[in-house]
Chains A and B, each alone.
Chain A
């Protein structure tokens, strides 16, 4: 099964579970959790079921295309269901069976792993799911986002598509994976990994990054004042990515790190407060 078949299978499976199939968000994000299709939908009280692929960027994980399983951009398959169904673990296992994995012949473990994202004031309780020792999924019951307790409680299931595909194809090198029958991961991504690693670690202009950061913070503040919360949140996402880039450039001092994280968090908390105050619309 190729990656694109894997994606199609997951889309089919989760659509059958009642999820709306969203499209990837068009900004750089560190994880599917940060996109509006998750963030804004978990902080209000209405039911919500969605599933989508989200390309996710972690600049400092870049390895110039030389490491067989570390990349600065990877693909997550994100499922969010609120309230969390009582049989969600069983549904998840069913999704693996649907992919053709005979789980009784393997070792599936739900291993304690509590997730948190300080920049968006979010944390949850859950597991990393291990399949024969390979971490294929992050499984989280959201408890807080935007610094606010969340209820009803959403569950978030994040499949690491490359990991899962490595398992399905039995391969040791991410670049050997098949995206489709005749296109490999190498064909699609190797150059991108090389060039972006160079950019992330050496070429990104620290001054430009710093300036963009402050400009986006100012813009976010203005938009919050005007009650334009979705654009304001976009500015926060940009800040978060700029912060990650500054970090991979080694340009953030101790005190700055703490300051920057709490700066973004404060903006997200304000957005959350305003958004919920107006009834989540």
Chain B
């Protein structure tokens, strides 16, 4: 049966809507399972969610009733309840009477103790309505948002004030209360254009009525509508929008029924860099900037209105006027900032706090500089331009541009440096050093940029952890996860050969006595943190989780090597040889379980196949280490695959658990040595094998 729910609120931020919808889906699934509102396979029905800034919507299929259960009441043993002639005794009659059933309804029930008589009762499931009326208020009250608020005299905490709750099950309203709101079968259309009550009885009817009343509940539909209208508006201009997924996503949730409009701005602002123009349009007014085929800004912008097209062009004119003022400001900042060379502003960094306990940006800059110098060798870049870039990379924090548009940090500095004639190795590194700022953002394109990015980020991570700041759940105030991911991705993209241990140690030592944690403790914490991030990155890139674990468990201190390990595993994951190897490894590990460590005594080997295995092991040992340190995990793995058949033969012909304890111990020692060698390449025991394929 169809259940749907709409929580109508004042305008929520898009991020709140998204997290709430995820929680609603998961929460309902769990709660339906908990009360047994599930199908025969113990699964809840289909659950779908939709949302706008003013609505959280849920639509689900659920059974009409709770699954029925069988209750068994055990009575006296069969021997006691029936006599030799199979007639009921007084015990049976008494049991039947006390349970309000006839003697003929008694059944024989077998359990561990023997045969008993008893009664099987069918307990009918409760009606879904009743259960849902209990579940749904809890579901709503359990929602948590990045920032919660209260309003009026309501006892509730939510993202924004709740205005109305619609809830219909099987065509009829469900009756429950959340705070001072009672659920009903009505809702409202678009706030400005259709504020009157509408009554709904099915989800289909709800969706179609809302559509007529200027509300599209499906974000995908709104996004497509925006994209299509953008295309239409730009078709005659032979142009496209400057891509900005973040902005598109925001607008998609900010409006319930989008209409796109086109506007213009005076050409003289085109001399501003596109980064600045597009940011001035985006921040505040949420406008898209428009570029030609060569990605050059042209004097147009696109905006989105909610609920009605701008037929009198008032919205367009208004936005044009506001934008002109913003661009005028931006132009003023740009020209004013350019007047003073970056190095002349450098000293002002002493006035800006990086973090209360970690000091100023001047101090941070000095640490970044030293870290960059340390990293330059590993990355193979020239020191001088790098040191200059490091010295200036934070200066744009004191420019008016960044004060007005904080998201332009780094980029502004780079653009100023470029316009003030600094060499490309310097300005580009400054420009790129915050990258990657998100999953979609590329890592720095230049080596200098990459080095600066790593230096800046590790300094933030080590510093924050070093004074006891923690990252947990949704709490990550300094974006440390993003910073660590940024470091990993940059190292991977630039194939930088560097151990985390060295990087962390260097960063800790730049801090001197500022940090409250010991180097060892910090190293431990950072390693675990980076391991998690690498896992996240690799899985996001589509690698199998078990292969990711196998690669990381073998070591990730050399971040780039962890990727090579993973790639080597990934390349052979579907081959039969690989599966056989995994089986052998598991067998070896089972034998080794609980066995003490011992040294191999080569002269104790006597059988042909163990001698062969030992010889091959010795060769392998010599060959594999140079390959590993060169990062040739593919090559190392080839050798491991080669020795596998010898291990098979060993198992076929040699009895590991020999009666002679000397022989036994020696064979186990050999297997352990081989296992240890394997684990330098990957922890094969983490790999999950599909037994059916064997």
**Chain A interface (Cβ within 8 Å of chain B)?**
67-70, 83-86, 89-90, 93, 103-112, 114, 124-125, 127, 130-135, 141, 143, 151-153, 155, 167, 170, 172, 253-254, 257-258
Chain B residues with Cβ below 8 Å from A257 are 353
In the complex, are the beta carbons of A109 and B303 less than 8 A apart? no
CB of B531 to closest CB in A, whole Å? 35
CB of B20 to closest CB in A, whole Å? 14
Chain B residues with Cβ below 8 Å from A172 are 321, 324-325
Q: A105-B312, A124-B149, A141-B151 are in contact. List 12 more A-B contacts (CB 8 A).
A: A69-B325, A83-B152, A84-B151, A85-B152, A111-B254, A111-B286, A131-B318, A135-B284, A152-B153, A153-B149, A153-B150, A254-B352
Measured in the bound complex, the distance between the Cα atoms of B319 and A127 in whole Å is 19
In the complex, are the beta carbons of B319 and A132 less than 8 A apart? yes
Measured in the bound complex, the distance between the Cα atoms of B150 and A124 in whole Å is 10
Measured in the bound complex, the distance between the Cα atoms of B306 and A257 in whole Å is 42
Q: Mask for B272-286, Cβ within 8 A of A = 1, else 0?
A: 000000000000111
In the complex, are the beta carbons of B351 and A254 less than 8 A apart? yes
**Chain B interface (Cβ within 8 Å of chain A)?**
10-11, 13, 147, 149-153, 160-161, 163, 192-193, 195, 254, 284-287, 303, 305-306, 308, 310, 312, 314-315, 317-319, 321-325, 328-329, 332, 350-353, 356, 360
Measured in the bound complex, the distance between the Cα atoms of B328 and A197 in whole Å is 20
CB of B189 to closest CB in A, whole Å? 13
CB of A89 to closest CB in B, whole Å? 6
In the complex, are the beta carbons of A152 and B152 less than 8 A apart? yes
22 A-B residue pairs with CB within 8 Å: A69-B325, A83-B151, A83-B153, A105-B314, A106-B314, A106-B318, A109-B254, A112-B11, A112-B13, A124-B149, A132-B314, A132-B315, A132-B317, A132-B322, A133-B323, A134-B322, A141-B149, A141-B161, A143-B149, A172-B325, A254-B350, A258-B353
In the complex, are the beta carbons of A89 and B315 less than 8 A apart? no
Q: Pick the contact of A254 from B161, B192, B360 — CB < 8 Å?
A: B360
Measured in the bound complex, the distance between the Cα atoms of B505 and A215 in whole Å is 48
In the complex, are the beta carbons of A134 and B356 less than 8 A apart? no
Measured in the bound complex, the distance between the Cα atoms of B317 and A90 in whole Å is 26
In the complex, are the beta carbons of B150 and A133 less than 8 A apart? no
Chain A residues with Cβ below 8 Å from B310 are 107
Given A106-B314, A132-B315, A167-B318, A253:B254 Cβ within 8 A: no
Chain B residues with Cβ below 8 Å from A111 are 11, 254, 286
CB of A103 to closest CB in B, whole Å? 7
Measured in the bound complex, the distance between the Cα atoms of B321 and A68 in whole Å is 12
Chain A residues with Cβ below 8 Å from B160 are 125
Chain B residues with Cβ below 8 Å from A69 are 325
Smallest Cβ-Cβ distance to B303: which chain A residue: A133
Smallest Cβ-Cβ distance to B155: which chain A residue: A151
Measured in the bound complex, the distance between the Cα atoms of B150 and A108 in whole Å is 24
Chain B residues with Cβ below 8 Å from A83 are 151-153
Measured in the bound complex, the distance between the Cα atoms of B329 and A234 in whole Å is 35
Chain B residues with Cβ below 8 Å from A125 are 147, 149, 160
Chain A residues with Cβ below 8 Å from B352 are 254
Q: Pick the contact of A84 from B152, B193, B322 — CB < 8 Å?
A: B152
Q: Pick the contact of A89 from B10, B303, B324, B328 — CB < 8 Å?
A: B10
Smallest Cβ-Cβ distance to B328: which chain A residue: A68
From A114, A131, A153, residue with most partner B Cβ within 10 Å: A153
In the complex, are the beta carbons of A103 and B350 less than 8 A apart? no
Measured in the bound complex, the distance between the Cα atoms of B400 and A67 in whole Å is 14
CB of A84 to closest CB in B, whole Å? 5
Measured in the bound complex, the distance between the Cα atoms of B311 and A106 in whole Å is 10
Measured in the bound complex, the distance between the Cα atoms of B317 and A172 in whole Å is 12
In the complex, are the beta carbons of A110 and B151 less than 8 A apart? no
Q: Pick the contact of A107 from B147, B306, B351 — CB < 8 Å?
A: B306
In the complex, are the beta carbons of A110 and B149 less than 8 A apart? no
Chain A residues with Cβ below 8 Å from B10 are 89, 110
In the complex, are the beta carbons of A132 and B150 less than 8 A apart? no
Measured in the bound complex, the distance between the Cα atoms of B192 and A225 in whole Å is 52
Chain A residues with Cβ below 8 Å from B329 are 67, 70
In the complex, are the beta carbons of A107 and B254 less than 8 A apart? no
In the complex, are the beta carbons of B325 and A143 less than 8 A apart? no
Measured in the bound complex, the distance between the Cα atoms of B152 and A170 in whole Å is 36
Smallest Cβ-Cβ distance to A155: which chain B residue: B151
CB of B494 to closest CB in A, whole Å? 34
Given A68-B328, A106-B318, A254-B360, A151:B150 Cβ within 8 A: yes
Given A83-B152, A107-B310, A130:B324 Cβ within 8 A: no
From B161, B319, B350, residue with most partner A Cβ within 10 Å: B161
Chain A residues with Cβ below 8 Å from B315 are 106-107, 132-133
In the complex, are the beta carbons of B314 and A254 less than 8 A apart? no
CB of A268 to closest CB in B, whole Å? 20
Measured in the bound complex, the distance between the Cα atoms of B322 and A135 in whole Å is 9
Chain B residues with Cβ below 8 Å from A135 are 284
Measured in the bound complex, the distance between the Cα atoms of B145 and A112 in whole Å is 14
Chain A residues with Cβ below 8 Å from B318 are 106-107, 131-134, 167
Chain B residues with Cβ below 8 Å from A85 are 152
Chain B residues with Cβ below 8 Å from A253 are 350-351
In the complex, are the beta carbons of A133 and B360 less than 8 A apart? no
In the complex, are the beta carbons of A114 and B147 less than 8 A apart? yes
CB of B73 to closest CB in A, whole Å? 53
Smallest Cβ-Cβ distance to A125: which chain B residue: B149
Closest 3 CB pairs of A and B: A132-B318, A125-B149, A133-B285
In the complex, are the beta carbons of A104 and B308 less than 8 A apart? yes
Chain A residues with Cβ below 8 Å from B305 are 107
CB of B125 to closest CB in A, whole Å? 39
From A70, A112, A124, residue with most partner B Cβ within 10 Å: A112
In the complex, are the beta carbons of B192 and A130 less than 8 A apart? no
Smallest Cβ-Cβ distance to B149: which chain A residue: A125
CB of A174 to closest CB in B, whole Å? 10
Measured in the bound complex, the distance between the Cα atoms of B11 and A130 in whole Å is 13
Measured in the bound complex, the distance between the Cα atoms of B306 and A135 in whole Å is 17
Chain B residues with Cβ below 8 Å from A106 are 314-315, 318
In the complex, are the beta carbons of B285 and A130 less than 8 A apart? yes
Q: Pick the contact of B151 from A104, A108, A127, A153 — CB < 8 Å?
A: A153
CB of B191 to closest CB in A, whole Å? 8
Smallest Cβ-Cβ distance to B332: which chain A residue: A67
Chain A residues with Cβ below 8 Å from B284 are 130, 133, 135
Measured in the bound complex, the distance between the Cα atoms of B350 and A257 in whole Å is 13
CB of A93 to closest CB in B, whole Å? 8
In the complex, are the beta carbons of B152 and A153 less than 8 A apart? yes
Measured in the bound complex, the distance between the Cα atoms of B148 and A124 in whole Å is 10
Measured in the bound complex, the distance between the Cα atoms of B156 and A84 in whole Å is 14
Measured in the bound complex, the distance between the Cα atoms of B163 and A130 in whole Å is 21
In the complex, are the beta carbons of A133 and B152 less than 8 A apart? no
Smallest Cβ-Cβ distance to B325: which chain A residue: A69
Measured in the bound complex, the distance between the Cα atoms of B303 and A124 in whole Å is 29
From A69, A84, A109, A151, residue with most partner B Cβ within 10 Å: A109
CB of A263 to closest CB in B, whole Å? 15
In the complex, are the beta carbons of B11 and A110 less than 8 A apart? yes
In the complex, are the beta carbons of A109 and B147 less than 8 A apart? no
Smallest Cβ-Cβ distance to A124: which chain B residue: B149
Smallest Cβ-Cβ distance to B353: which chain A residue: A254
Measured in the bound complex, the distance between the Cα atoms of B295 and A74 in whole Å is 40
Measured in the bound complex, the distance between the Cα atoms of B312 and A264 in whole Å is 50
In the complex, are the beta carbons of B351 and A133 less than 8 A apart? no
Chain A residues with Cβ below 8 Å from B150 are 141, 143, 151, 153
Chain A residues with Cβ below 8 Å from B356 are 258
In the complex, are the beta carbons of B193 and A104 less than 8 A apart? yes
CB of A87 to closest CB in B, whole Å? 9
Measured in the bound complex, the distance between the Cα atoms of B328 and A70 in whole Å is 12
Given A86-B152, A141-B150, A143-B150, A133:B322 Cβ within 8 A: yes
Measured in the bound complex, the distance between the Cα atoms of B615 and A121 in whole Å is 75
In the complex, are the beta carbons of B312 and A103 less than 8 A apart? no
Measured in the bound complex, the distance between the Cα atoms of B260 and A107 in whole Å is 12
Q: Pick the contact of A108 from B13, B192, B328, B353 — CB < 8 Å?
A: B192
CB of A181 to closest CB in B, whole Å? 23
From A133, A143, A167, residue with most partner B Cβ within 10 Å: A133
